[in-house]
Amino acid sequence: MSARISLLLCGLLAMSVTAVAGAAEKGASGDVFPFKVYKQTLDNGLKMVVIPYDSPGTVAYYTVVRTGSRDEVEKGHSGFAHFFEHMMFRGTEKYSQDAYNDLLKRMGADSNANTSDDRTAYYIVGPVSSLATMMDMESDRFQNLKYKEDAFRTESLAVLGEYNKGVSNPVQPMFEKMRDLAFTKHTYKHTTIGFVEDVKAMPGYYDYSIQFLNRFYRPENATLLVVGDVKPEQIFEMAKKYYGGWKKGYQAPKVEPEPPQTELKKAHIDWPNPVRPQLMIGYHAPAFSTTSVDSATLDLIGQLLFSESAPLYQELVVDKQWVDFIGGGPDFSRDPSLFTILTRVKSEDLVPKVQETIDRYVKQLADQPVDQQRLDRIKAHLRYSFALGLDTPGNVAAQVAESIAATGDVDAINQRFAQYQTVTPADVQRVTRATFVPQNETIVTLSHKAEAPAAKGSQGGANHD
Amino acid sequence: MIDRKVLTLGSLLLTLLAMAVPATAIEVVALPSANSPLVAVRLQFNAGSIYDPPGKEGLASLTSMMIGQAGTQKRSYTDLIEALYPMAAEIDTNTDREVALIAGLIHRDKLAEYTALLKEALLTPGFSQADFERNKEQLVATLTNTLRSNDEMLGLETLQDEIFQGHPYGHSPAGTVAGLKSITLEDVKTFYRDHYTQGSLMLGVAGGYPADYVASLQKDLAALPQGSKARMEVPPAPKVQGRNFTLVDKQTGSVGIHFGYPLPITRADADYYPLMVVNSFLGEHRTFHGRLMNQLRGKRGLNYGDYSYVEYWNVPPFTSLPSPNVPRREQYFSVWIRPVVPVDAQFALRAGLYEVQRLRDKGLTQAELDLTRDFLINYSKLWAQSLGDRLGFYMDSKFYGMPYYIDEIESRLKKLTVADVNAAAKKYLSTENYSAVFVTANAQQLKDTLQKDEPSPKTYNAQPEADVLEADKTIQAIKVQPTRIDIVPVAEIFEK
C-alpha cells in the first residue's frame, strides 16, 4: 500500500510523523528538527548528509535517488522506477545477489528499499561496526550493477506478485482511478507500481532497464544519508574513496506539467465482493514549497477538516456515525499533485449526504475566518507529532528522505514548520477558495455489485520486499 | 516448561527496577532514561479475547475501546480528543488473545497533563450508549469490511481460527459478527469490573519521567479493584490430525496461502531458541535470505514474498520488525505464501511444503547455523530501538516469566550446536499434520485440483537455474493428500 494512502487512512499528514533527540548534537534552537546536520557534496555531484544521533552502535544508511514514478515519461513504461528498485538487488560482479544477501545477514541488518512518486530510497539499518562493509556494498551496486536477462524476467514476476497482493483492497483501484482521471499530462497520472498492462509487459524491456540505469542512477541525482552513531568527517572521507569514481551523466526527464482542470470528473467502480461504499475525492493542489505558503496552508486545512478533533470528523464518525473512517490531506510532492479525501460510508443512501457534509464544512472554511486559537492548537499538534516520531535513526532518516525527495534538501523540514507559524486565518480562506472548487475536483466512488469482475486495480507506493 | 537457569544482565536489571518501586498488587516495569524527552506509558491487562464469554466474542476488544476511544464520566469523547489533540497524544488500545494494551507516547513537557487524561479514561470511563454503538460498529466494520477486503489479513486470521478451533484462542480478538451483536452495554461494564483490576495489570513506564512518577501512578491505579493475578487456565491447542484445508471463496484475482499448526513451546522454553534459528533460516519475515523467499520468489518469481513464523506476528505485513505486547501462552508455526496466480496455487503449496520438509530432513550446516545465529543476535537488537518497543519487550519477558528476551536470544543462541538446531527441526517441523487456508476465487475448481493431487508442473518466463528445474521434478509430484477440504464463502467468515 502506498505510504501516502496509509497515512491518509490514519488521518495523518504525510509529514506528521516523528520523535526526538536524546543526547545527540542539537540543531539551532527553535527548530523542530532538533539535530545538527552535516552536508558535503563530492566532485561528481553526490550529495552527502550526515546526522549524528544517540543510537549507540547503530546506524541508518540511506541512499536516496531522486527518481520515482514521476520520472516515467515514456509511454508503456509506468512502474519502471519501482521495477528497477527490485533489480538493484540482483548483484554485481564483486557481490553476487547471494553474496550481497549473505553480507546483510551476517551484519544482522534491517534492509530494504521503496519507491514513491518522487524518489527511490534504499536503506540498511545495522551495526555501525559494519559501516565500511555497508559503504563498500552500496557504492558497488550503484556503480556496477550487472544482471542477466533471465534474472530480469523472473524479477518482473515478483513485481506482478506485488501488484496482485494489494489489489484485493478496494482503496488501491480507487487510487489508481483517481490518478488516471485527475491527471491528463503529468506522470502522476499513474501510481508508483504502474498501469497493470505495463507491469505485465515488463519482462520484454531488458534493454530499456539498462538505459534507465544509465540515465537516472547517477551521483548528481542521489543523496547519501547517514544517521546514527557516526562522525561526519569519517563518513565524508570514506565516501570519497567509495563513491568518488561514480561517473556523472544524469539526464533529467522532461515531465510535462499538468494543465489546469476545467470541469468536475467522476468515476465509479463496481466491486465484486460485499463491501461498504467508499468515496474518494481529489483536488489539484500545489507542489510542496518552502517559498509559497499555500502547500503549508493545505496541511493545516487537512487537520482542520480531517483530524480526529475536527468538527467534520466528529459529526460524521462520532455523532452521526455515517462513516467508520475519514481522512484527508495533501501529498508531500515535488510537482503539483492532489489533496485527497477518503471515507468508508455505512450505506449507499448516505453517500450523497456524506458528500454534502464535507462540502458544507469546506464552504464554512472558505466563508468564515477560522478561529486563531484553533489554528494554534493545530500548529502545536503538528510540532509534537513530528517530535514524537524521531525516536530511532531509521525514523529520522525516513523523514529526511522525504524532504530530499520533494526539495533535494533536508532544510525543508524546519522551513515547513516555520511556515506553519506564519499561516493566518485569511490564508486558510484564500487557499480553500482556490482549491476546493468543482472544476478542480475528481470523485471516485466504489460499491458492491454482485456480477462485477474481480478486481483489476493497482497501488500507489511499492517496496522491494 | 520455563528454564530459569540463564540469568542475564537484562533480567537482573528487570528485577532491580521492579524492586525499586513500592510493592502493591500491580506489576511494574520501569525503564528510566533521563535524557529522553519522551515518555512511553503502557498498561497491559490480562483482559484479552480469551476472556470473551461464549456468544459474546468481541467483548474484550469492545471494552478496551470503551476506555481509549470513548468519553469519560465527566468528559465526552469529543472533549477527550480535543484535550489530547494539541499534545499529539492518543490513548491507544490493542486487544490480542491474552492481553489488552492501553498505551501512550508523550513528550515529557506534557506528561502530567496526559497522565491525568489517561487516568480519567481508565478509572472513570463514561460508558455512554452512543460510544458503545459507535465502537461496536467499528468492530463489525473491521471484520466485514477491512479484514474481508484484504486477502492477506483475511488468510492470517482464518488460519488462526482454524488452528485454534474450539479453543479460547479460536476467534479473532475483533470478535464475530454474531458475538458483537449480542453484546450489551451492561456486558461491557461487567467485563470492565471483572478484568480491569490491579491484579491483572502490568504497568510499564519508560523514558524521561520524573523520579516519583511511577510510584504516584501506581498509587492512583490502586483505585482499580484488587482482582486476581491468576490468568485464566488455557488448555493446550487442539492437535491437528491430517491436512485440513479451508478455501475462502471470494472474487479475487490471485490465491493467498497460509499453512501451520500449533507449537507446544514459547520463547520461555529452551527449545524455542534452536527452533528460532531454524525458522529464521527457513523464512525470516521480510528478508531476502530465508530459503522460502529465495527459492519461491527469488529463483522462481512465484510471488512477492514467502516467510515462516514460530510466534504470532501481529504487525501489519508491510513492517519488517516484530512488535511486543502481544504475548501468548499458546503459539503456532506457520508459513505465509503471498498471493500467486491461480494456476500456480497447487505448485506454490507444494514448494512451501518441500522447503519445510527439506529443512526437517537435512537440517542446517555448521556454516548456515553460524550465519543465521550472527544474524539473529544483531538483528534482534534492532527490535528494541524505540522507547516503546524496548518497554514492550521487557513487559513481554515479565509476562512469560523469563529474563529479558533480547538478551536471552544472544545468550541462548551462542550456545547452540548444529545438533541442537537440527534436533529442533526434526521435533517441531511437520508436513504431515497442518491446517491450510487458501483465499481464492473459483474455490470448487481449486478443491478439485487439490483433491486429485496430480503433478503440477511449473512453467517459467525465463530459463531457471539447473538446480531449480531438478528440485521442481520432486516438488510438482509431492503427494499432499488433503484429509479434508472445506469451502467457506467469504461472507460467512467471522460471522459466528
Number of other CB atoms surrounding residue A438 within 10 Å:
12
**Alpha-carbon separation of residue B134 from A95, A322, A323, A325, B77 (angstroms):** 55, 10, 10, 11, 11
Chain B residues within an 8 Å CB radius of A456: 253
From CA B68, how far away is CA B100, in angstroms rounded?
Answer: 11
From CA A4, how far away is CA A402, in angstroms rounded?
Answer: 11
**Alpha-carbon separation of residue B211 from B113, B159, B201, B219 (angstroms):** 17, 46, 21, 14
Contacts of B302 by beta carbon, 8 Å cutoff, 6+ apart: A157, A161, B296, B337, B340, B344, B347, B348, B351
Of the candidates B304, B375, B461, the beta carbon closest to that of A161 is on B304
Contacts of A59 by beta carbon, 8 Å cutoff, 6+ apart: A125, A126, A127, A128, A131, A134, A226, A227, A228, A229, A230, A393
Asked whether the beta carbons of B279 and B310 are under 8 A apart, the reply is yes
No. of H helices and E strands in chain A?
16, 12
Q: Could you write out the DSSP letters of every residue in A220-256? A: GGEEEEEEES--HHHHHHHHHHHHTTPPP------PP
Q: Does B459 touch chain A (CB under 8 A)?
A: no
Residue-wise pLDDT for B221-256, tens only, equals 999 999 999 999 999 999 999 999 999 999 999 999
Chain B residues within an 8 Å CB radius of A309: 81-82, 85
Question: How many interchain CB pairs under 8 A, A with B?
Answer: 225
Q: Mutate which of B378, B386, B465 to test chain A, going by most A C-beta atoms within 10 A?
A: B378
CA angle B336, B340, B343 (to 5 degrees): 130
To the nearest whole angstrom, how far is the Cα of A167 from the nearest Cα of chain B? 8
pTM: 0.93
Q: Which residues pair with A282 in a beta bridge?
A: A340, A442
**Are B463 and A150 a contacting pair at CB < 8 A?**
yes
Residue A360 in grid coordinates: 458544507
**Are A105 and B375 a contacting pair at CB < 8 A?**
yes
DSSP A452: P
Q: Mutate which of A10, A154, A385 to test chain B, going by most B C-beta atoms within 10 A?
A: A154
Measure CA A220 to chain center.
21
Number of other CB atoms surrounding residue A59 within 10 Å:
25
From CA A377, how far away is CA A375, in angstroms rounded?
Answer: 5
pLDDT band at A28 (very low <50, low <70, confident <90, very high): low
From CA A408, how far away is CA A222, in angstroms rounded?
Answer: 9
**Are B35 and A127 a contacting pair at CB < 8 A?**
no
Q: Which residues pair with B246 in a beta bridge?
A: B437, B486
Asked whether the beta carbons of B412 and B273 are under 8 A apart, the reply is yes
pLDDT of A29 higher than 90: no
Q: How far apart are the first and last CA of chain B?
A: 34
Chain A residues within an 8 Å CB radius of B386: 19, 391-392, 395
Q: Could you write out the DSSP letters of every residue in B338-391? A: EEE-GGGHHHHHHHHHHHHHHHHHH---HHHHHHHHHHHHHHHHHTT-SHHHHH
Asked whether the beta carbons of A81 and A67 are under 8 A apart, the reply is yes
Provide the pairing of β-strand B38-45 with A441-448. Answer: unpaired
CA angle B2, B8, B12 (to 5 degrees): 95
**Alpha-carbon separation of residue B183 from A278, B58, B137, B180, B434 (angstroms):** 27, 8, 12, 5, 34
Looking up cell 562493509, which residue turns up? A133
* Nearest partner of B283 among B313, B305, B255, judged by Cα: B305
Q: Could you write out the DSSP letters of every residue in B68-82? A: HSS-BSSS-HHHHHH
- The whole-number pLDDT of residue B16 equals 40
Provide the pairing of β-strand B201-207 with B27-32. Answer: parallel
Asked whether the beta carbons of B331 and B169 are under 8 A apart, the reply is no
Residue-wise pLDDT for A407-460, tens only, equals 999 999 999 999 999 999 999 999 999 999 999 999 999 999 977 766 543 333
From CA B487, how far away is CA A138, in angstroms rounded?
Answer: 48
With residue A105 as reference, give the H or E element that holds it: helix A97-107
Residues of chain B with pLDDT under 50: 1-22
Measure CA A2 to chain center.
7
Q: Name the more confident of A390 and B15.
A: A390
* Nearest partner of A158 among A193, A116, A107, A106, judged by Cα: A193
Q: State which residue of chain B sits closest to A6, comparing Cα positions.
A: B318
Question: What residues does each domain of chain B span?
Answer: 9-221, 243-492
Give the domains, in start order, of chain A with CATH numbers. Answer: 22-243 (3.30.830.10), 265-453 (3.30.830.10)
Of the candidates B141, B304, B382, the beta carbon closest to that of A125 is on B382
Beta strands in A288-435 (DSSP E): 323-330, 337-345
Measure CA A203 to chain center.
26
No. of H helices and E strands in chain B?
18, 11
Q: Which residues pair with B484 in a beta bridge?
A: B244
Start-end of H helices in A272-315: 294-306, 311-313
Q: How much is the mean pLDDT over chain A?
A: 91
**Region class of A321: left (phi > 0), else alpha (psi between -120 and 50), else beta:** left
Residue-wise pLDDT for A245-276, tens only, equals 999 999 999 999 999 999 999 999 999 999 99
Class of domain B9-221: alpha beta
**Are A307 and B145 a contacting pair at CB < 8 A?**
no
In our burial notation (b when 16+ CB lie closer than 10 A, e otherwise), range B462-471 reads bebeeebeeb
DSSP A438: G
Residue B460 in grid coordinates: 517459467
The fold adopted by the segment(s) B243-492 is: Cytochrome Bc1 Complex; Chain A, domain 1 (3.30.830)
**Are A58 and B376 a contacting pair at CB < 8 A?**
no
From CA B463, how far away is CA B444, in angstroms rounded?
Answer: 33
Q: State which residue of chain B sits closest to A17, comparing Cα positions.
A: B88
pLDDT of A43 higher than 50: yes
Contacts of A184 by beta carbon, 8 Å cutoff, 6+ apart: A258, A259
Query: Positive or negative, the Cα torsion across B335, B339, B342, B343?
Result: negative
To the nearest whole angstrom, how far is the Cα of A315 from the nearest Cα of chain B? 10
Number of other CB atoms surrounding residue B401 within 10 Å:
10
Residue-wise pLDDT for A109-161, tens only, equals 999 999 999 999 999 999 999 999 999 999 999 999 999 999 999 999 999 99
Q: Mutate which of B379, B440, B463, B493 to test chain A, going by most A C-beta atoms within 10 A?
A: B379
From CA A428, how far away is CA A423, in angstroms rounded?
Answer: 7
Residue-wise pLDDT for A292-346, tens only, equals 999 999 999 999 999 999 999 999 999 999 999 999 999 999 999 999 999 999 9
pLDDT of A182 higher than 80: yes
Residue A238 in grid coordinates: 570514506
Mapping DSSP to helix (H, G, I), strand (E, B) and coil, where does residue A37 land? coil
Q: Mutate which of A105, A313, A388 to test chain B, going by most B C-beta atoms within 10 A?
A: A105
